[in-house]
Structure 1
Amino acid sequence: MIVKLSPQDIRRYNWYIWRFFIGCFAILAIMLLLVAFQVFGPLPSFRELENPKSDQASEVISSDKKVIGKYYVKNRTSVSFKEISPNVINALVATEDSRFYEHSGIDFQRTFSIIAYNLIGKKQGGSTITQQLALNLFSERSHNPVKRIIQKLQEWITAVKLERNYTKEEILTLYLNTVDFGAYNTYGIHSAARTYFNTTPDKLTPDQAALLMGMINGPGLYSPINHPKNALSRRNFVLRRMDEEGYLSAGQAEEYKQKPLGLNFHPIDHNDGLATYFRAVLKREVQKLLVDKAIFKSDGVTPYDLDRDGLKIYTTINATMQQYAEEAQRTYMRDLQAQFNAHWKGVSLWKSIPTFKSLLDKGMRQSDRYASLKQQGKTEDEIKKDFDTPTELNLFTWKGDIDTVMKPIDSIVYNKMLLRNALMSMDPTTGYIKAWVGGTNFEHFKYDQVKMGTRQVGSTAKPFTYAVAIDDGFSPCMQIANQPVTITGYGDDWTPRSSPSETIPGMVTLRKGLAHSQNWITAALMDLVKPVPVMELIKKMGITSTVPPYPSICLGTFDASVYDMTGAYSAFANQGIWTEPTFLLRIEDKNGNTLYSNTPKVVQALNPQTAYVMTYMLKAVVEEGTGHRLQWKYGLNNPIGGKTGTTQDNSDGWFMGITPQLVTGVWTGCEDRAIHFRSTRLGEGANTALPIFALYMKKIYNNPELGIQKNVDFAPPKSGVNITLDCNAYSQQQQGINEVDKKLGF
């Protein structure tokens, strides 16, 4: 039945409709006024609009201008508009806001059309790119409907302010630097391009840009890793929109739609990438530095947050050399671990290592699992039962991590039997550290063995005693009887041992004694020069750990870090000048302002002549002594000095290698000194540490771009050398001196 309305009824209903719309408009206007007057909460100030806050990752930058790591809460690195491919801009505008260049922050035409779409059941987003930017920068989306309406009005006002303060290009750049791209805490177009395609934003192709821009409204739903079908469909939708908006031709769009996703997935994680141990040490150092030096933001009060403020940390690490060092470690340690496993196969650890039970108990109590169980209130018996109950575990191996079922206590045994290794390489003239490998796998073993850890240095300490003797005027050609020595006057009498198979009988020159690491020759020198001058030289050359003034320090009974030992040996290669090992150059804020610049300490530890003579003696180690396999096995016949080191019971293996342009220290051993090779043939530094140095240097020499020249020898001091290095001439001199002494009746 059709009801016919009178003109009066029509006018009355029209008035109701108009009153409804006028009322809605009035409410909207009042709400906008209340929001503008900040009744419902503060709006961003002009200063905040000029300097919007967004968590930015701080970058660790190598000496060859590569980003080798980041510190972040949100993995975000800002880029400029010029660094973003037009494909990204076109894909974004076509998909998210096709009228972006026409509106002033709020697109009312889009808003009302969206209302109509939603009324008929087609859900559409009504926010412009500028409104989305306002939300990203200054608030978090509320799930309360009433609060969300107020928040929406706040976004409108903020969006208009943004449009007044920024150009369209700047708004697009800010937006793309703040967007969440899902996987592995990836924020911003820079991180997204790196994570999903291992490229930079300026090189993104149309299909790559379409994939990333398609993720914006649902980084989880359209994840190409977790939901590749959804991602492909969404990417093709974006390509269609680019075609419709005239950014691509129909043919181009169809061509790109046929392509696979083409991912080159490189998730960024604190446990991955180059120099993981170094980055962990660097972070602690920078955080301490910012506090100790009272480095604050422009207000003079607010401290910098390394994980949020986008600092640029410039380091001395060379990314290529770092990669070579890590590759050398992986290559050789895989083989050495196989030697170690074969060496211990079928041998009872409990019988061979008297302290093994206590080591396991200590390892259990130091584990994360033990701490977690303690926090849960478990008793010691309950914890022991847990460690004896098989469970799923992830273990490190040199062939890759493995998932297995094992008793946690057995996993501690497994880890105790893993060899560890550390390497540091530096330029002796500048002190700049070029490579830092603090351990074998940062994800599984966090402890840094380069700087944080110290181990007994063994025979790598012998050159310090020889250096004091050379400084006193002794010649490398001086001969000493290689026989047992007992040193008295420092508490208990001390008589070092010497392996019969390695002892060279008769009179031995100092150079040969050092080359073949003869204990009795070194002890005899110590008896001549005394412990205190040796201790003082060791400290002068940068060893920060305790070095007691006892005769035994000549054989390396003290502990030191790879960091300190490498720094000390750099003085031999740098004409006696010890330059503090340096890994941090400067820190800049996100705008490029320098916050801190580092100046290394410099000390003349040795006179230039002594340092040069020591390089001559250390070269003998490689030419004829314990480091000779560098030549016969690895073919490194160029000028290289070095010293092997093997501590008591083969617990630690060392090799210190020096060239005029590079000094490198390598250490190998197990976590606990009680676990080690049972034979010196396998456990000596020449077998456990030297090969890593060799593999590293071969890679260095094969890359001329690094500038490390192979055939450059150590330069003599400008003042010349008055210590006799020619042993034939030295013998004649000594013979002449003896004849004169006879004539004078001495």
Structure 2
Amino acid sequence: MQTIKRWLQNPWIKWSLVGITGLLVLLIAFYISIYAGAWGTVPTAKTLSTLKQAEATQVLDKNGELIGKYYIYDRQPITFDDLPRHLIDALIATEDVRFYEHEGIDNKSLLRVFFKSILLQDKSSGGGSTITLQLAKNLFGRKDYGKISIIVNKLKESIIASRIEAIYSKNEILTLYFNTVPFPDNTYGIESAAQKFFNKSTKELNLSEAAVLVGSLKANNGYNPRLYPERSQSRRDVVLQQMVKYEYLDEDRASSTMQDTIALDYQHFNHDMGVAPYFREVVKKQLDSLLKNYKNENGDPYNIYSDGLIIHTTLDYQMQTLAETAMQEHMRELQAAYEKDHGNRAPWKKELNLKSSTVSRTKAYKKLKANGLSESQLKDSLRAKREMELFEWEGNVTEKASTLDSLQHYRKFLNTGMLSIDPTTGAVLSYIGGIDYRYFKYDHVSQSKRQVGSTFKPFVYTAAIDNGMKPCTYFPVRAVTYTNVDDWTPTNASETEDPYLNYTLETALSNSINTIAVKVLNKVGIPKVIELVKKLGITSEIPEQPSIALGTAGITLKEMAGAFASYVNQGKSVTPYLITKIADKNGTVLAEYNPKIAEEAAYTEYTREVVLEMMKATVDEGTAARLRTTYGLSNDIAGKTGTTQDNKDGWFVGITPRLVSVTWVGNDDYAVGFKSTRIGQGANAALPIFAKLYTKMNTDTTFDRYTKSKFDATSPEVRDDLDCEPEKRDNFLKRLFSGKKKKKRFKKEKNE
């Protein structure tokens, strides 16, 4: 005892003990200050027991397949039962081997970090962080406290981790961890990562895939398997070796797995990329309106970016994928032919005038103009060059370009829209709003109204048949000048036609004879045609002009698809729709949406059969015959091609018993059209996308319900009424006195 007293009286020992005691008091006080919230609020047990993380809203196709998400953080929660055992083992072996032994803090590792990492600045000593500590960091992040940041943040996380361990079981902690941990490419949660990198759910991940994702946790960017496959594979092997080391895996299986290269099936859930981006954008816009009357569990309006809603849609993922591939194959070839046809004197090669609408409509121009820049300053700003990625079909290019250079570059591109629907319900099965959403945001399905050309003619013939005109009525091909319509003389695409020929309605429609379409319109009357079109659900304005027979009215693809559906839906039009139901994150249905089908048929069953037969003839022997000859399609198909004046727009409507598709192709700049009908006609510009889609569907039994479906048998009455010579020629006397040109007045009627 005396020895201890003498030892304590030693000044050096005495002051050392005082210093150590003081340091301990300071550390305890420091810890208490953190615990009390002096360095920022520490979540309470109550807060931790009701953890709620922002969850991505999922957009599913008609079969429940994920096609996209809306999110701030790409997070998609799952349950513990969805986690495969080898995924859990890989995580524990790599990140926290004593996970089941500690209560949130691994004291051995923490001491190692304190003495080696902090005091001795040895960065190679490891992090000492447990899965629970990492979870605390994932949930609440870290703040900057200057030089003592690591100490403050670590102590705060240790308090949170202890509270988490007191509230949740180990399995619940693992589930929370996997649902919140960040993976490469701004992806949060294992389910989102599995879907993005391997296009499968978490429970389907094999050993190699699980090890790849667990391995990426060490450095999201550095071990990103998309960017650095070799580095990622090396890290995967480290994870497998750790599993062997801690007896979660036998050496033979580990060695076998290490022989496999990483096989990604990367999915772009970025809103600008991936499958059906135009479709997903329209769904998002509709949700803003549809969710107005619904509140979440907190009584707040639903937020599609954070409330984890589940949106069930009508889209067929597989059909959409084939449609996009078909579009890309054709548009790549068509663009090359289009540019070659225009040659060196192409209109898009002329320097753009600052006062042109092409320039003045841009955001850049409007912003500069609003800032009060003069014309010369505007010109200088718009001509300033910077690094820019530009779209090209053969691969994007990065080069120095100005705003004007960019406008001129994009002015040359043809664009497209294609919509395929179920004609009995209006359910949208595939939706292509343009050639590439990243660079062409304008949606040609829902937003664009273009002249529809000859695809309007079936409506004219439908009105005529429904008002008593016989299918075997003959009309002369010869051109007529309508004196009361500014001496308008509609002509046909072929200038070599015999002016003395007369065609039946079927022959005239299947061969798209302009002169006869106008004569039929004149006979039935404009008001009756407009009345029919309205019954078919087309709300776009149809001018009371004779030229509507040739499709001068601007109509959307959605309206056209809904109207043409009537020919295989008992004469009833449909309204194309995209969303079937909306559910919350727990799967509770908030709202369901039913198809909008016209209550009454727009025309008789007899008329429907007659006009459908005419459109079958269009495919079998008319303007759409290349479906049979060039593409070898033997499916039951009816259809109609369309080409507008000066070859500005190419159209094709394809009708099969269970699928109606409408396709448009043209240039967004209406001043830049096709140079020739050979390239720009609907049969060449638009039809091939439909043809390529059906060719692909024919090889996949998944689509048998569409490709092998047959039209209903045509009634004997309709067959008899169509049984006549397709054409006849004027006799000698009629030819002698008729002359090649005729003048007449176009019948004018007021729409009653």
The answer to whether TM tops 0.5 is: yes
Partner SS for 1:654? strand
**2:127 aligned to which of 106, 125, 128:** 125
Q: Say which is worse superposed, 454-463 or 222-231, in terms of deviation.
A: 222-231
Q: Say which is worse superposed, 400-409 or 320-329, in terms of deviation.
A: 400-409
Q: Residues 527 and 593 from structure 1, CA distance in 2 versus in 1: closer, same or farther, beyond 3 angstroms?
A: same
1:646-699 Cα deviation digits (max 9, x unpaired): 111010010111111111111111112221223222221111111221111122
Q: What TM-score do you get using the length of structure 1 for normalisation?
A: 0.86
**1:725 aligned to which of 711, 721, 727:** 721
Equivalence map 1:263-662=2 (5 Å): 268-291=269-292, 294-300=293-299, 302-347=300-345, 349=347, 361-367=356-362, 370=365, 379-388=374-383, 392-405=387-400, 409-485=404-480, 495-499=489-493, 500-501=495-496, 505-603=500-598, 604=600, 605-662=602-659
Shift of 1:15: 8.3
Question: Are the aligned partners of 2:113 and 2:127 in contact in 1 as well (CA < 8 Å)?
Answer: yes
Shift of 1:227: 6.2
Q: Say which is worse superposed, 559-568 or 410-419, in terms of deviation.
A: 410-419
Q: Residues 328 and 348 from structure 1, CA distance in 2 versus in 1: closer, same or farther, beyond 3 angstroms?
A: closer
Question: Are the aligned partners of 1:701 and 1:708 in contact in 2 as well (CA < 8 Å)?
Answer: no
Question: Are the aligned partners of 1:485 and 1:523 in contact in 2 as well (CA < 8 Å)?
Answer: no
> What residue is the counterpart of 2:736 in the other structure?
none
Q: Give, in whole Å, the separation in 2 of the partners of 1:40 and 1:248.
A: 43
Q: Residues 410 and 228 from structure 1, CA distance in 2 versus in 1: closer, same or farther, beyond 3 angstroms?
A: closer
Question: Are the aligned partners of 1:487 and 1:527 in contact in 2 as well (CA < 8 Å)?
Answer: no
Partner SS for 2:59? strand
Amino acid in the other structure paired with 2:596: K
Question: Are the aligned partners of 2:352 and 2:359 in contact in 1 as well (CA < 8 Å)?
Answer: no
Partner SS for 2:127? coil
Are residues 1:179 and 2:181 paired? yes
Partner SS for 2:462? helix
**1:682 aligned to which of 679, 687, 699:** 679
Amino acid in the other structure paired with 1:181: F
Partner SS for 1:577? coil
Question: Are the aligned partners of 1:87 and 1:204 in contact in 2 as well (CA < 8 Å)?
Answer: no
Q: Residues 12 and 384 from structure 1, CA distance in 2 versus in 1: closer, same or farther, beyond 3 angstroms?
A: same
Partner SS for 2:291? helix
Partner SS for 2:537? coil
> What residue is the counterpart of 2:105 in the other structure?
106
Q: Give, in whole Å, the separation in 2 of the partners of 1:219 and 1:730.
A: 70
Question: Are the aligned partners of 1:311 and 1:590 in contact in 2 as well (CA < 8 Å)?
Answer: yes
Q: Give, in whole Å, the separation in 2 of the partners of 1:474 and 1:229.
A: 72
Shift of 1:260: 5.8
Shift of 1:33: 6.2
> What residue is the counterpart of 1:668 in the other structure?
665
Q: Give, in whole Å, the separation in 2 of the partners of 1:323 and 1:140.
A: 42
Q: Give, in whole Å, the separation in 1 of the partners of 2:183 and 2:721.
A: 66
Q: Give, in whole Å, the separation in 2 of the partners of 1:635 and 1:11.
A: 103
Q: Give, in whole Å, the separation in 2 of the partners of 1:725 and 1:42.
A: 85
Question: Are the aligned partners of 2:145 and 2:152 in contact in 1 as well (CA < 8 Å)?
Answer: no
Shift of 1:270: 2.6
Partner SS for 1:421? strand
Equivalence map 1:3-152=2 (5 Å): 6-11=3-8, 42-44=41-43, 48-118=47-117, 119-122=119-122, 123-144=125-146, 149=151, 151-152=153-154
Q: Say which is worse superposed, 531-540 or 239-248, in terms of deviation.
A: 239-248
Q: Give me the identity figure in percent.
A: 37
> What residue is the counterpart of 1:737 in the other structure?
none
Shift of 1:190: 2.4
> What residue is the counterpart of 1:741 in the other structure?
none
Shift of 1:424: 0.9
Q: Give, in whole Å, the separation in 2 of the partners of 1:281 and 1:498.
A: 39
Q: Give, in whole Å, the separation in 2 of the partners of 1:643 and 1:730.
A: 18
Shift of 1:723: 9.1
Q: Give, in whole Å, the separation in 2 of the partners of 1:224 and 1:730.
A: 64
Shift of 1:373: 5.7
Shift of 1:602: 1.3
Q: Give, in whole Å, the separation in 1 of the partners of 2:619 and 2:656.
A: 12
> What residue is the counterpart of 2:698 in the other structure?
701
Shift of 1:307: 2.2
1:597-641 Cα deviation digits (max 9, x unpaired): 112211033333322222112112112221122222222243311
Q: Give, in whole Å, the separation in 1 of the partners of 2:532 and 2:542.
A: 11
Amino acid in the other structure paired with 1:725: D
Q: Residues 454 and 121 from structure 1, CA distance in 2 versus in 1: closer, same or farther, beyond 3 angstroms?
A: same
Q: Give, in whole Å, the separation in 1 of the partners of 2:464 and 2:77.
A: 58
Q: Residues 265 and 506 from structure 1, CA distance in 2 versus in 1: closer, same or farther, beyond 3 angstroms?
A: closer
Q: Give, in whole Å, the separation in 1 of the partners of 2:401 and 2:229.
A: 35
Question: Are the aligned partners of 1:587 and 1:597 in contact in 2 as well (CA < 8 Å)?
Answer: yes
Shift of 1:232: 5.8
Gaps of 5+ in 1: 732-746
Q: Say which is worse superposed, 682-691 or 411-420, in terms of deviation.
A: 411-420
> What residue is the counterpart of 2:711 in the other structure?
714
Q: What TM-score do you get using the length of structure 2 for normalisation?
A: 0.86
1:277-306 Cα deviation digits (max 9, x unpaired): 222222222223223xx2221232x22222
Partner SS for 1:424? strand
Partner SS for 2:104? coil
Q: Give, in whole Å, the separation in 2 of the partners of 1:43 and 1:663.
A: 59
Q: Give, in whole Å, the separation in 2 of the partners of 1:389 and 1:126.
A: 52
> What residue is the counterpart of 2:746 in the other structure?
none
Question: Are the aligned partners of 1:215 and 1:223 in contact in 2 as well (CA < 8 Å)?
Answer: yes
Question: Are the aligned partners of 1:641 and 1:659 in contact in 2 as well (CA < 8 Å)?
Answer: yes
Q: Give, in whole Å, the separation in 2 of the partners of 1:233 and 1:376.
A: 54
1:187-219 Cα deviation digits (max 9, x unpaired): 222233344455543344445434432332432
Cα root mean square deviation, aligned: 3.5
Partner SS for 2:561? helix
